[in-house]
Amino acid sequence: MHKYLPHTEQDILEMLKVTGASSIDDLFSSIPKKLRLNKPYNIPSQLSDDDLTKHMKNLAGENKELVIFRGAGAYDHYTPSIVKALISRQEFLTSYTPYQPEVAQGTLQYIFEYQTMVCELTGMEVSNASMYDGATATAEAMFMAYAQTGKDTILVSETVNPRTIEVIKTYAHYRNIKVVVIPQKDGVTDFAKVKEHVSETMGLVVQNPNYFGIIEDYDGFANIIHDASGLFIMNSEGQALSLIKTPGEFDVDIACGDLQSLGIPLSFGGAYIGYLATKMKYVRKMPGRICGITTDVDGKRAFVLTLQAREQHIRRAKANSNICSNQSLLALAVTIYLSTMGKNGLVKVSEESMKGAHYLYQQLLATKKFDVVYQKPFYKEFVLKANFDVERFEKELLNDGILGPLHIGSNHLLFAVTERRSIEEINQLVQKVVAFK
């Protein structure tokens, strides 16, 4: 008896017919051939402890450790050992949505603490704990605006990360929502274009710092959006919130973004954790898990899941969202990280990222091999235009163990610097630029 019912040959044929694929291999056609395993992997049937350890070390030795100067939404920040140690404990590692508050007080407490920290970072009134990553959190913010306003058009600034815009468009497609992209002007959101298009829309999505690393000034945006009965949505990554003006200070209605920079390693692209925070008046439009604090029958402090039941989101046709699980383990990792760093520590590590980025920026310009693209304030990322073959340069850097900047078109390179990059590593990159012919 199988633990899971396997597909019969007839089942497979019927599914392939529905998908339009001629074979199962066709389902993986988007994966480049050079990345596919073309021969069976030789997995030994059994090994001793010592031999298995050697085998795993040999496999790990095939990985190449790179010095990273690339971001665009995923950043090489330091994860303190205490984060890895605590989230590996058995009672946390298997944590899931806590349905029985009487036996899940510890889990509910750290979810509540996580929500509180997100509110402090964003300047918003209420947060949930259920977002998979920054891109999907932004799409869920759009759904909140859709549910609140009933309008079917959303404005999105071109300065938002292109991958996030793709996710927004995918989500919007299946709700028949129209996405209008507001063009950037000199690297920032074109305020005049927002005023021109904001009428009869559910609101505007922006990013700060934006995709180009620029810290935008959104003063005045909320007024014109609210005058048009729309909602102002801002995406910000976690570390930046310790230094820049918060979404709450811009009178944002929904704050969202990724918290990968707060104790979550790169991990080949995930899993990450998104956040979603809003004003209290929109709390009933918020999807996912929301943990609250109350008192029990004996008057003692207690934590509970509040406002919503999982079943609300299973009724797909009527639900604001179908997210119902929470990123509990990653929420715990963020909570431990922020607790360990403290407010002063978070500010200090953020300043190290910013100082390193500005140092690299000046050093690269001094090589005379780059042109300035945007004369704007930036945080830990910036764009320069290279006067050389960027593809060949990237290959040379990789051969030397460096993952260089991201080419975003027209020889424009997007650099990122985190607190992990030492002066020696930054100078090494600069010397590679100087020596490049």
Query: Residue 12 carries which DSSP code?
Result: H
Q: What is the pLDDT of residue 321?
A: 77
Domain-embedded: residue 40 = no
CA distance linking residue 22 with residue 427, whole number of Å: 53
Reduce the DSSP state of residue 264 to 3 states and report it.
Answer: coil
CA distance linking residue 348 with residue 16, whole number of Å: 54
Tell whether 359 and 285 lie within a shared domain. Answer: no
Other Cβ atoms within 10 Å of 44 Cβ, number = 8
Q: What is the pLDDT of residue 312?
A: 56
CA distance linking residue 103 with residue 99, whole number of Å: 9
Q: Which domain does 394 fall in, by range?
A: 67-78+342-435
Tell whether 249 and 136 lie within a shared domain. Answer: yes
Omega of the bond prior to 209 within 30 degrees of 0, cis? yes
Residue 186: burial class (beta carbons within 10 Å; 0-12, 13-18, 19+): exposed
CA distance linking residue 290 with residue 124, whole number of Å: 14
Tell whether 175 and 123 lie within a shared domain. Answer: yes
Domain-embedded: residue 47 = no
Domain-embedded: residue 59 = no
| Residue (of 253, 246, 237, 227) closest to 147 by Cα position | 253
CATH assignment at residue 347: 3.90.1150.10
Phi, psi for residue 30 in degrees, rounded to 5: -75, -15
* CB half-sphere exposure, 12, CA atoms < 13 A: 11
| Residue (of 320, 352, 258, 292) closest to 116 by Cα position | 292
Tell whether 421 and 317 lie within a shared domain. Answer: no
User: Which helix (H) or strand (E) covers residue 111, if one does?
Assistant: helix 105-122
Answer whether 188's CB lies under 8 Å from 139's CB: no
Domain limit, last residue, from 311, 336, 361: 336
Tell whether 138 and 237 lie within a shared domain. Answer: yes
| pLDDT tens over the chain, length 437 residues | 566 788 899 999 999 999 999 999 898 888 998 888 877 777 777 889 999 999 899 989 888 889 999 999 999 999 999 999 999 988 787 656 666 777 788 888 999 999 999 999 999 999 998 899 999 999 999 999 999 999 999 999 999 999 999 999 999 998 999 999 999 999 999 999 999 999 999 999 999 999 999 999 999 999 999 999 999 999 999 999 999 999 999 999 999 999 999 999 999 888 899 999 999 999 989 988 889 999 988 999 999 888 866 555 566 666 777 776 667 899 999 999 999 999 999 999 999 999 999 999 999 999 999 999 999 999 999 999 999 999 999 999 999 999 999 999 999 999 999 999 999 999 999 999 999 98
CA distance linking residue 121 with residue 134, whole number of Å: 15
Tell whether 116 and 146 lie within a shared domain. Answer: yes
Domain-embedded: residue 28 = no
CA distance linking residue 259 with residue 236, whole number of Å: 9
Domain-embedded: residue 48 = no
Q: What is the pLDDT of residue 160?
A: 98
Domain limit, last residue, from 336, 352, 377: 336
Tell whether 243 and 163 lie within a shared domain. Answer: yes
Domain-embedded: residue 39 = no
Tokens of 256: 């969202």
Q: What is the pLDDT of residue 323?
A: 75
Tell whether 289 and 364 lie within a shared domain. Answer: no
Tell whether 372 and 415 lie within a shared domain. Answer: yes
Q: What is the pLDDT of residue 314?
A: 61
Tell whether 282 and 404 lie within a shared domain. Answer: no
Domain-embedded: residue 391 = yes
Q: CB within 8 A of 93, min separation 6: which ones? A: 87, 329
Domain-embedded: residue 272 = yes
Tell whether 217 and 91 lie within a shared domain. Answer: yes
Residue 244: burial class (beta carbons within 10 Å; 0-12, 13-18, 19+): middle
Domain limit, last residue, from 308, 336, 364: 336
CATH assignment at residue 96: 3.40.640.10
**Residue 195 Cα distances to 150, 154, 157, angstroms:** 20, 13, 12
Q: Per the structure, how many domains does the chain have?
A: 2
Tell whether 260 and 209 lie within a shared domain. Answer: yes
Q: What is the pLDDT of residue 97?
A: 65
Give the global pTM.
0.89
Between helix 162-173 and helix 134-149 the angle, nearest 10°, is: 40
